[in-house]
């Protein structure tokens, strides 16, 4: 059970200046959002939506707030200012558009949608309705990746030449069987790449810029699912650098993801959310960041979906609250979420067709 807001808390965090958040969906990722909201000053969890009426009481007990069994009823609540969409990926677009039209700000889980047309509709409707649209690609808030990006942007690596991401995760068959939508093209939108790897695609694009073209292969080796559990792709960035993307959910017992960026004047290697090596002629270290020894990083989310750290979602919620108050875009706006979706879809097309696929900006 989530701890409901403390009735003795200050007026600042429970009344006029706090922002009311609601959850759509009651699964594992919704629990991450709920904990993040509860731990964030200036945010309060006010409601949840679970359309299965037989489990509404269970959701109320677990999250400590009223449960609406109608999404339209949730959107009609005046105390709901932000909707966190934590439902299967295939439902994101319709729910986000409805929330925006109701005047609610939207924070949507990754991937933001399953097609670019859906993503564009979300972006357009939120802009037209004058509400914020944020995407839960929370690894951008991690201090190691943020510091690495700042150093790259400052030219610490010189001309970028190579970027690689590796996602050697394990998800058991029981994980896919835990919900009917998991491992389906219609509602999950893909497998190891779209569900797990998209966080790393986002970092690859953040660090190296837009991709010009991709080639790929994918297969299903170890699970009874519709989507891929193993994929490899090569990419060519618009700045001329090359790259690779490797993702699986069949690597027992599960390992931490890796991000590597190399340039003509230095390179960086990150494993999990830790910098394991950093070399640069102009910036010999990343200020304030400890460099851990290779091979000492815990598997985290690589071995279990429950291994995701909660701090990333807390930073994401805190940034969204600050964005609303400062009248700015969140750390990952809809346009940025669209970039990783576009790359994932291009990789899938390349794998299905066996041909090179170009990406348009």
Average pLDDT score over residue span 175-198: 97
Find the helix or strand (DSSP H, E) in which 76 lies. helix 71-76
Which has the minimum average pLDDT: 192-201, 213-222, 308-317, 335-344?
308-317
**pLDDT score of 357 more than 70:** yes
Please tell me the predicted confidence (pLDDT) of residue 22.
98
Comparing C-alpha atoms, which of 271, 306, 276 is closest to residue 291?
276
Q: For 140-303+332-358, which CATH superfamily applies?
A: Dihydrodipicolinate Reductase; domain 2 (3.30.360.10)
Packed helices 334-353 and 198-208: angle between N→C axes, nearest 10 degrees: 110
50 confidence band (pLDDT: 50, 70, 90): very high
**pLDDT score of 16 more than 90:** no
Count the alpha carbons within 13 Å of 291 in the hemisphere toward its beta carbon.
12
Average pLDDT score over residue span 7-24: 63
Please tell me the predicted confidence (pLDDT) of residue 298.
78
301 confidence band (pLDDT: 50, 70, 90): confident
Average pLDDT score over residue span 297-304: 79
Counting every residue written for the chain, the total comes to 361
CATH architecture under which domain 11-138 falls = 3-Layer(aba) Sandwich (3.40)
Per-domain residue ranges of the chain? 11-138, 140-303+332-358
pTM tops 0.85 = yes
In the block, tokens 């009248």 appear at: 327
Give yes or no for a contact between 202 and 340, defined as CB atoms under 8 angstroms apart: yes
**Among residues of the chain, what percentage have pLDDT more than 70?**
92
**pLDDT score of 10 more than 70:** no
Mean confidence (pLDDT) of the chain = 92
Cis peptide before 253 (omega within 30 of 0): yes
The dihedral over CA atoms of 246, 247, 251, 256, expressed in degrees to the nearest 10, equals 90
Please tell me the predicted confidence (pLDDT) of residue 133.
98
Give the contacts of 162 (CB within 8 A, at least 6 positions apart): 241, 242, 243, 260, 261, 262
* pLDDT digits 0-9 by tens, 190-234: 999 999 999 999 999 999 999 999 999 999 999 999 999 999 999
Q: Which CB contacts under 8 angstroms, 24+ apart, belong to 285-293?
A: 286/144, 286/147, 286/148, 286/151, 287/147, 288/143, 288/147, 289/143, 289/144, 289/147
Average pLDDT score over residue span 20-45: 97
SS3 label, residue 8:
coil
* pLDDT digits 0-9 by tens, 119-172: 999 999 999 999 999 999 999 999 999 999 999 999 999 999 999 999 999 999
Task: Provide the token pair at 25.
Answer: 């969906």
Q: Report the alpha-carbon distance of residue 17 to residue 44 in Å, rounded.
A: 10
Strand arrangement, sheet containing 242-248 = 274-280, 266-271, 258-263, 160-168, 242-248, 230-237, 211-219, 357-358
Average pLDDT score over residue span 288-295: 60
**pLDDT score of 4 more than 60:** no
**pLDDT score of 15 more than 60:** no
Comparing C-alpha atoms, which of 195, 135, 208, 209 is closest to residue 167?
195
Comparing C-alpha atoms, which of 141, 127, 153 is closest to residue 36?
141
CA quadruple 260, 173, 224, 250: dihedral sign:
positive
Average pLDDT score over residue span 49-72: 96
**pLDDT score of 296 more than 80:** no
Q: Report the alpha-carbon distance of residue 330 to residue 320 in Å, rounded.
A: 5
Q: How many whole angstroms from its chain centre is CA 287?
A: 26
* pLDDT digits 0-9 by tens, 230-276: 999 999 999 999 999 999 999 999 999 999 999 999 999 999 999 99
Count the alpha carbons within 13 Å of 110 in the hemisphere toward its beta carbon.
29
Please tell me the predicted confidence (pLDDT) of residue 6.
41
Average pLDDT score over residue span 58-62: 95
∠ at Cα 335 (331, 340), nearest 5°? Answer: 90
Strand arrangement, sheet containing 133-136 = 67-68, 43-49, 19-24, 82-85, 105-109, 133-136
Q: How many whole angstroms from its chain centre is CA 304?
A: 16
């Amino acid at each position: 059970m989530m701890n409901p807001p403390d009735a003795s808390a200050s007026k600042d965090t429970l009344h006029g200046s706090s922002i009311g958040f609601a959850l759509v969906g009651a699964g594992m990722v919704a629990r991450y959002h709920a904990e993040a909201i509860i731990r964030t000053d200036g945010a309060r969890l006010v409601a949840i939506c679970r359309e299965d009426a037989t489990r509404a009481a269970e959701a109320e007990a677990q999250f400590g707030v009223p449960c609406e069994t109608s999404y339209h009823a949730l959107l009609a609540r005046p105390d709901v200012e932000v909707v966190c969409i934590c439902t299967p990926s295939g439902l994101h677009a319709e729910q986000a558009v409805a929330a925006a039209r109701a005047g609610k700000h939207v924070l949507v889980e990754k991937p933001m949608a399953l097609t670019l047309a859906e993503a564009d509709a979300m972006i357009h409707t939120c802009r037209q309705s004058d509400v914020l649209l944020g995407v839960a690609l929370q690894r951008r808030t991690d201090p190691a990746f943020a510091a690495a990006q700042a150093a790259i942007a400052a030219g610490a690596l010189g001309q970028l030449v190579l970027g690689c991401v590796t996602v050697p995760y394990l998800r058991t068959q029981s994980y896919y069987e835990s919900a009917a939508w998991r491992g389906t093209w219609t509602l999950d939108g893909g497998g190891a790449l779209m569900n797990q790897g998209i966080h790393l695609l986002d970092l690859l694009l953040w660090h190296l810029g837009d991709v010009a073209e991709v080639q790929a292969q994918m297969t299903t080796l170890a699970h009874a699912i519709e989507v891929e559990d193993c994929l490899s792709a090569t990419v060519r960035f618009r700045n001329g650098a090359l790259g690779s993307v490797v993702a699986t959910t069949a690597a027992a017992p599960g390992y931490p993801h890796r991000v590597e960026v190399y340039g003509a004047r230095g390179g960086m290697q990150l494993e999990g959310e830790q910098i394991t090596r950093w070399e640069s002629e102009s910036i010999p270290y990343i200020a304030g960041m400890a460099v851990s020894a290779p091979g000492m990083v815990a598997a985290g989310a690589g071995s279990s979906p429950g291994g995701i750290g909660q701090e990333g979602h807390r930073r994401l919620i805190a940034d969204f609250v600050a964005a609303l108050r400062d009248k700015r875009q969140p750390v990952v706006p809809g346009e940025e979420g669209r970039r990783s979706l576009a790359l994932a879809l291009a990789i899938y097309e390349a794998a299905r067709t066996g041909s090179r696929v170009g990406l348009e900006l």
